[in-house]
């Protein structure tokens, strides 16, 4: 067995736990419904570790995304890292989600309320998702780099909005891939295997600015 990493995330519409061994996916459990994160996350961690043993490192998605979901995942991951005495690494949930679409420009969106949402823009052609535009809280207008002429896949609720797709670019198309715990683990794996984990006390959710500033309280998750 090589260096094993568990990845957990509850920042968006999917609650997920993944497990890798030297970069190879070994197990994953996912459920669509982040409001049930508290009921599933720790139970799934127990199931995976009962089968495969505790990991050597732990990666957790720190958002941006659901306030409650991110807080549950981060709190659980920090407690597990303390209990197992293993290194922990916080990673961008949007970057991990972007990895679901390889070799592509990917816009990832989450937690849409009216015109406000979280967004990241990535190129996924390498071993890690490379940011083209950093994770941001959008309230109204898109960043000035849009619209783009490149082909781009749009994940999350904005990808299901034809008007927003046109604003992102003439070749923008919706994607339906989900965020996976394995992708979270893969983002944390390079640093964790070389002992570059973070102080658990310092790991905090990436709340950025709440998209609730839009004036709408309804959260739109979309189909991916």
Q: Is the pLDDT of residue 224 over 70?
A: no
Quickly state the pLDDT bin for 87 (edges 50, 70, 90).
very high
Query: For residues 70 and 63, what is the distance between their CA atoms, to the nearest angstrom?
Result: 6
* Residue 13 forms part of a structural domain: yes
In a domain, 222, yes or no: no
155 & 194 share domain: no
| DSSP output for 14-79 | EEEEEEEETTEEEEEEEEE-GGGHHHHHHHHHHHHHHHH---SEEEEE--SS-HHHHHHHHHHHHH
> What integer pLDDT is reported at residue 220 of this predicted model?
42
Q: What is the pLDDT of residue 218?
A: 43
Regarding whether 69 and 19 lie in a shared domain, the answer is yes
Average pLDDT, the chain: 90
Handedness of CA 92, 193, 6, 21 (dihedral sign): positive
With a cut of 90, say whether residue 126 has pLDDT above it: no
> With pLDDT > 70 as the criterion, what percentage of the chain qualifies?
90
Q: How far apart are the first and last CA of the chain?
A: 33
58 lies in some domain: yes
The neighbour count for residue 35, using CB atoms within 10 Å, is 13
Mean pLDDT confidence for 14-28: 96
> Is the model's pLDDT at 158 over the cut of 50?
yes
Mean pLDDT of 122-138: 93
Q: Are residues 105 and 131 in the same domain?
A: yes
| Minimum mean pLDDT range among 14-28, 52-66, 82-96, 198-212 | 198-212
Task: Note the pLDDT of residue 212.
Answer: 52
Q: What percent of the chain has pLDDT over 90?
A: 76
Q: How many domains does the chain have?
A: 2
Does position 216 have pLDDT exceeding 90, yes or no? no
Q: Is residue 46 part of a domain?
A: yes
Same domain assignment for residues 88 and 104 = no
CATH number of the structural domain spanning residue 205 = 3.30.420.40
- The whole domain housing 113 covers 95-174
* pLDDT given for residue 217 in this prediction: 38
The whole model's pTM is what? 0.91
According to DSSP, the residues that pair with 133 across neighbouring strands are 121
The reply to whether 25 and 122 lie within a common domain is no
pLDDT at 134: 96
**Distance, CA of 44 to CA of 6 (rounded, Å):** 11
pLDDT tens per residue, range 166-203 = 999 999 999 999 999 999 999 999 999 998 889 888 89
Average pLDDT for 197-215: 74
Q: Which of 79-83, 115-119, 196-200, 206-210 has the lowest mean pLDDT?
A: 206-210
Given this model, what pLDDT does residue 9 score? 95
């Amino acid at each position: 067995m090589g260096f094993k990493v568990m990845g957990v995330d509850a920042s968006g519409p999917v609650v997920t736990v993944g497990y890798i061994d030297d970069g190879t996916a070994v197990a994953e459990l996912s459920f669509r419904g982040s409001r049930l994160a508290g009921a599933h996350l720790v139970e799934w961690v127990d199931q995976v570790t009962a089968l495969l043993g505790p990991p050597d490192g732990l990666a957790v998605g720190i958002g941006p995304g659901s306030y409650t979901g991110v807080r549950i995942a981060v709190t659980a991951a920090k407690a597990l890292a303390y209990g197992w005495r293993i290194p922990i690494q916080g990673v961008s949930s949007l970057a991990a989600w972007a990895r679901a679409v390889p070799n592509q420009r990917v816009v990832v969106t989450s937690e849409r309320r009216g015109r406000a949402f979280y967004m990241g823009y990535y190129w996924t052609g390498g071993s890690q998702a490379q940011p083209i535009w950093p994770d941001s809280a959008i309230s109204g207008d898109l960043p000035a780099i849009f619209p783009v002429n490149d082909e781009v896949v749009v994940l999350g609720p904005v990808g299901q909005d034809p008007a927003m797709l046109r604003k992102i670019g003439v070749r923008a198309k919706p994607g339906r891939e989900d965020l996976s715990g394995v992708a979270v683990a893969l983002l944390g794996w390079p640093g964790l295997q070389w002992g570059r984990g973070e102080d658990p006390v310092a790991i905090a959710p990436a709340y950025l600015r709440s998209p609730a500033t839009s004036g709408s309280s309804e959260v739109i998750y979309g189909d991916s």
